[in-house]
A and B are shown apart, each in its own frame.
Chain A
Amino acid sequence: MNPIDQRLEIMTDRARKAVLPDDTRSPVGFATRVLSRVRREPNSASIWLKFSLASLPVAATAMIACLFCFGIDLPRDVDQLANSFIQVPLLP
């Protein structure tokens, strides 16, 4: 084994033996802080729900505006499109 690897191995062995403080009890008020943070932070599902509900009138308005601007030509286009389809022979 390379000497650097050997030294790293020794250091890792010793690091593993280090005694870490025992966290048997949570700090005072820890659970209260966690629960108040949970209540403060809205969850992502409700954010998406709010966003989708808020975007509904916007989408409806945009659709009506589009229909109003281009709606006059639309039936004619659809007819032309249908006619062109009908004229295409489907079978040889």
Chain B
Amino acid sequence: MVSWRETGDPVSGRALVDAMYPFVAALVRRHVADLGAIEDLAQQTFVRCFSKADQWKPDKPLEPWLARIALNLCRDYFRSQRSRRELRWTDLSEKEQAAMTATAQTSSLAPESLHDESRTVLLRLLNTLSADDRMVLSLLHLESQTTDQIAELTGWSRALVKVRAFRARKKLRLAFERLENTRP
């Protein structure tokens, strides 16, 4: 990064992309399910990283700065997705319906094959929330980040993270309940 900033050398830029791609792609993938959007968001993250390279402080690690850029872009992506309609039982695939039903059983009885579907249903439920609510819940519950870490990543205060998480959880609970109520 230092070399890119000083010289704009494409070789160092390429090396940086290759080295940091696994980190950025994994981060975006944890929030976004759409495969096409994942690559585009990863690409936008690097473009923004290079064009704002002068804002990065070399004495600080690159990863948190990159993560912040990627999460901001994910948030913008959620905002642009205006399909925040209610999720209905008939919108779910058979496996996703099975994953929903399996939540009524104890975790030991759930087949491991339903983990992916559980994640898909959860992401679809999160899609019904606003971009900020979605972001705070996926950071808190899917990535198991602490309030401090979320505050650092999003630039929000700790109190705001807590309040937003509380309200978002309430909305998620409602969305889950509504989905259950549409079950035939």
- Give the interface of A toward B (CB within 8 A): 2, 4-5, 7-8, 10-27, 30-35, 37-38, 41, 43-44
Contact = CB atoms under 8 A, between A and B. Distances in A.
A37 B17 CA distance: 13
A21 B103 CA distance: 24
Contacts of B112: 17
A17 to B, nearest CB: 5
A26 to B, nearest CB: 4
A1 to B, nearest CB: 11
A14 B14 contact: no
17 contacts: A4-B176, A10-B103, A11-B100, A14-B110, A15-B142, A17-B115, A22-B22, A23-B26, A26-B17, A30-B17, A30-B39, A31-B14, A31-B18, A35-B13, A37-B47, A41-B51, A43-B51
Nearest to B15: A31
B89 interface: no
B163 interface: no
Contacts of B154: none
B173 A5 contact: yes
Interface stretch (B62-70, B78-86, B118-126): B118-126
